[in-house]
Amino acid sequence: MPEFDFTRLRRAPDVEAPNLQAWDATDELLVREALATGIRGDEIAVIGDAYGAITLALTDAGMPGIRVHQDLVTGRRALARNAAALGLTDGTDAARRAAAEHADGGADGPWVPTFEQHELDERLLTGIRLVLLQLPKALAELEEIADAIARWAQPDVVLIAGGRVKHMSLGQNDVLGRYFAEVQPQRAERKSRLLVARGLRRPDGPPPFPVSTAHPGLTLCAYGGAFAGDRIDIGTRVLLEVLPDIRSAEVAIDLGCGTGALAATYAMQHPASRVIATDRSAAAVRSARATMAANGLENVTVTLDDAGSELPVGTADLVLLNPPFHLGSAVDEAAGHRLIQAAARLTRPGGEVWTVFNSHLDHRRILQREVGPTEQVERTPKFIVTKSTKR
């Protein structure tokens, strides 16, 4: 059997750039180890497969039935696109249509259901004997994943987790050690390392997430994979301080809402407004929904989406934006630029986009170009808040 060609994979619809690729050496090591176990595809779960490299390499090797969980909707869409391009689709009608579009035979081209998308829940892990994991950056996210495996996977499950050596820490071993009797680091290869965990320990208490913290006027809830957890990150805090100066809008969007601090606070200040909170992270969306429930807010809708792509043009009178400047472990302004472009698309003429960003970033120029006239309304040693009016 020929080796899987990882170079055919793409990151789209996520940002693509010469210094970014859709797989790494860790993916290749995880695939190699999974093939060596002899475990069937329908007994394997893959977690954190950024753009589908692990899932599709195993599927291409003749292992159907793999269950996969990706936190980011951009990763889910990239997996679907890559699968369709390779003729390795999941069992959904949408995937069948996408595969037909890429097939040489047109609408009657080849289609085989091969893998299943799941959330981080019991359906992902029941009956699973092997879990392949790209280690997350946050220990809280790793704990939530390990707890889920320990609750629902088979008693003899083996976890093979991997990451780039420069991003790994002994804290990851400690977290896994609470849920497995044995955690064995493997020898590093190509600047990646695998951890093999065995001897599952079933939890005897409730799940550790979501967590919640009462802040002044706001209860914030968070699942393990949500950025900043149940804290208010400093950029959001700066924008919250000027929130009372923002006008009441018929429809407001918190674009990249995270745990929902901005959306919840604005909704409490403007109960007549319809607020939409959207994020590409499933953990963030679950967290934001829990935040809205904890604060008794019924005028907020929380959606899982990539940069508001499923919302119509000109949906909102107001967009609140705290864009990221990282793509995974890479520092890249392109992620923020995508959200600024989305804010421009979503804002009605005359509407406003309020943005907070690190002062060293070039976002004001991008806002001026994409949205319209942009003025600085607040500045701290690290952050700038701007107001842009849609032309």
The pLDDT tens digits for 125-181 are 999 999 999 999 999 999 999 999 999 999 999 999 999 999 999 999 999 999 999
Evaluate whether 186 touches 195 at the Cβ level (below 8 Å): yes
**171 touches 161 (CB < 8 A):** no
Q: Is the pLDDT of residue 112 over 70?
A: no
Query: Is 6-200's fold the same as 211-389's?
Result: yes
pLDDT at 329 over 90: no
Distances (CA, A) of 211 to 205, 208, 248, 278: 14, 7, 31, 20
CB 279 within 8 A of CB 304: yes
Q: What topology is assigned to 211-389 in CATH?
A: Rossmann fold (3.40.50)
59-81 pLDDT per residue, tens? 999 999 999 999 999 999 999 99
* Domain map (residue ranges) of the chain: 6-200, 211-389
- Mean pLDDT along residues 350-359: 97
User: First and final CA of the chain: distance in angstroms?
Assistant: 57
Residue 303 host element (H or E): strand 300-304
**Nearest to residue 224, comparing CAs of 149, 294, 154, 168?**
149
* Ordered alpha helix ranges (H), the chain: 25-37, 53-60, 73-86, 93-102, 122-125, 139-152, 170-177, 234-242, 261-269, 282-294, 334-346, 363-370
Token pair of 140 as six digits: 């809280």
Domain 6-200 is found in CATH 3.40.50.720: no
Claim: this prediction has a pTM higher than 0.75: yes
Which percentage of the chain shows pLDDT scores above 70? 92
Please report the pLDDT score of residue 331 as a whole number.
53
All residues at 6 or more sequence positions from 239 whose CB lies less than 8 Å from its CB, including other chains: 262, 320, 322, 354, 356, 385
The answer to whether the CB of 240 falls within 8 A of the CB of 322 is no
Span of 1-10, 103-112, 226-235 with lowest mean pLDDT: 103-112
